Amino acid sequence: MQDASKHYFNGHYINGGWVASIDGREMAVENPSTEEKIATITLGGVADADAAVAAAKAAFPAWAATDPEERIAALERLMEGYKSRAEDMAQAISTEMGAPIALAKTAQVGAGAGHLKNTIRAAKAFAFERPLGDHAPGDMILYEPVGVCALITPWNWPMNQVMLKVAPAMAAGCTVVLKPSELSPLSAILLAEMIDAAGFPPGVFNLVNGDGAGVGAHLTAHPDVDMVSFTGSTRAGVAISKAAADTVKRVSLELGGKGANIIFADADEKAVTRGVRHCFNNSGQSCNAPTRMLVERSIYDQAVETARAVAEKTEVGPADIEGRQIGPVVSETQFNKIQYLIKHGIDEHAALIAGGLGRPDGLNRGHFVRPTIFADVTPDMTIWKEEIFGPVLCISPFDSEEEAIALANDTPYGLTNYVQTTDKSRARRVARRLRSGMVEMNGKLGGAGSPFGGMKHSGNGREGGVWGLEEFLEVKAVSDWE
């Protein structure tokens, strides 16, 4: 088996071992801080995807029939391996997608460990067989694995999204084919080594590197794939749903976002600073980032000045430097998209109060974006409507609670919204009316195992905890069980 520390990866993890690509082509993996090639992978093709699906299909009956305790034990072994190689994982993530090393060691690697831990906890407490109720003696409800699952993950939080899918799918008794983003494949290759070391049966976990047009599209339409779980853009999610329809497979989607952060006049004094930093975290490359800050008019001018100061103090630098800086965005393509949208903001006469076009001073190489803030952004502007996926914040005023809710909901997306107020009654009232799958209030994150997902164009699935486990289970009703 290949070592993830090598720089060339010419195969895929299929049926419990590394095999050479059947019909793939080479692709360079780039360090976004330096724009230098750090590895070469082979992108799989149709034949590689077919081989992985065949292995998963062959392994499914035996894996589905195992006791949940056996599957949980395998995940617990994986947890030990994951913790023992945390440093390797942090270095891989930092190098391949540009997360500053301090962020990679804590949030990026920690997210994977946390989701694995929460999956194990949820699986231990889950009743895979349960009676319908006292009113129907003898009726039993069985929760059974969906089958072969294609898991397609993005580059921005590699282990966060991979573990949100791989761990609950295998805990449920499904077999999987993982297609990680071709921009951040090294962390997934490292995870494959850990899964192999944990002793999962051959065929339960399979990995094929590839792009969306090749491997991703083929897996989505494959007749032997029973479910597709996808995290990525809304555009791709729509295409996946259409392609999957012909085989009536289950599709779970976690897509884009354009979260509103509603700051009322009575919010705590750190609310604006917290909101700017949250938006810029991971260089703005988070689907749940609070990218639209809505501020009550009586404190609007002060909020704009505070936001400007935070942006100007935000350091930007290479990912391998220890510190609290934000790193580069993942690729030249992503950099160019962000620059295009910043120019749109300028051309549409939003007030540019920090940042702007080009790289930060002193950084002439790498995909670095200036921390950027626009004020007086209105709903007709492009930067209000489109997900920018970079360190760009839009600020707008509101005059009433009703207007704040209307502005927050004025988007096709519905992933995460944020509310800042010390009035608990108002906070709950607003939270109920926001059209999003998640609402975070006053800087408090959701608890361990809280369901992650959205509505509208942000998708239809829920990941994490018991909800993540249920995503990969079918419900069977059986009468006269006893």
pLDDT, one tens digit per residue, over 359-380 is: 999 999 999 999 999 999 999 9
Q: Active-site residue 144, yes or no? A: no
Task: Collapse the DSSP code of 42 into the 3-class scheme (helix H, G, I; strand E, B; otherwise coil) and give the result.
Answer: strand
Does residue 273 register a pLDDT over 50?
Answer: yes
In this prediction, residue 5 carries a pLDDT of 42
Give the Cα separation of 339 and 331 in Å (integer). Answer: 12
Instruction: Tell me the pLDDT band of 482, cut-offs 50, 70 and 90.
Output: confident
Does residue 83 register a pLDDT over 80?
Answer: yes
The predicted-structure confidence for 331-345, as pLDDT tens digits, reads as follows 999 999 999 999 999
Alpha helices in 85-224 (DSSP H): 86-97, 101-103, 109-125, 158-172, 186-197, 217-221
Instruction: Tell me the pLDDT band of 10, cut-offs 50, 70 and 90.
Output: confident
Mean pLDDT of 30-49: 95
Mean pLDDT of 292-313: 98
Determine which one of 279, 287, 387, 471 is catalytic. 287
* Pairing label, strands 260-263, 292-296: parallel
% of the chain exceeding 90 in pLDDT: 96
Mean pLDDT of 413-433: 98
Instruction: Tell me the pLDDT band of 1, cut-offs 50, 70 and 90.
Output: very low
Give me the phi and psi of 367, to 5 degrees please: -95, 60
Lowest mean pLDDT among 42-46, 272-276, 469-473: 42-46
In this prediction, residue 7 carries a pLDDT of 60
Determine which one of 96, 182, 193, 254 is catalytic. 254
Q: Active-site residue 287, yes or no? A: yes
Buried b (16+ CB within 10 A) or exposed e, 216-235: bbbbbbbebbbbbbbbbbbe
For the stretch 221-225, contacts whose Cβ atoms lie closer than 8 Å and that sit 24 or more positions apart, written own/partner, are 221/246, 221/247, 222/49, 222/50, 222/53, 222/150, 222/247, 223/247, 224/53, 224/54, 224/57, 224/148, 225/53, 225/148, 225/149, 225/150, 225/177, 225/249
Mean pLDDT of 137-151: 97
Does residue 4 register a pLDDT over 70?
Answer: no
Kindly state the helix (H) or strand (E) to which residue 382 belongs, with its residue range.
helix 382-385
What does the mean pLDDT of the chain come to? 96
Whether the CB-CB separation of 255 and 437 falls below 8 Å is answered with: no
The predicted-structure confidence for 396-409, as pLDDT tens digits, reads as follows 999 999 999 999 99
In this prediction, residue 415 carries a pLDDT of 98
The predicted-structure confidence for 90-129, as pLDDT tens digits, reads as follows 999 999 999 999 999 999 999 999 999 999 999 999 999 9
Kindly state the helix (H) or strand (E) to which residue 58 belongs, with its residue range.
helix 46-64
Whether the CB-CB separation of 470 and 131 falls below 8 Å is answered with: no
Alpha helices in 104-157 (DSSP H): 109-125
Rounded to two decimals, the pTM is: 0.96
Q: How many C-alpha atoms does 233 have within 13 Å on its Cβ side? A: 10
Instruction: Tell me the pLDDT band of 8, cut-offs 50, 70 and 90.
Output: low
Mean pLDDT of 308-317: 98
In this prediction, residue 2 carries a pLDDT of 40
The predicted-structure confidence for 183-226, as pLDDT tens digits, reads as follows 999 999 999 999 999 999 999 999 999 999 999 999 999 999 99
Mean pLDDT of 246-253: 97
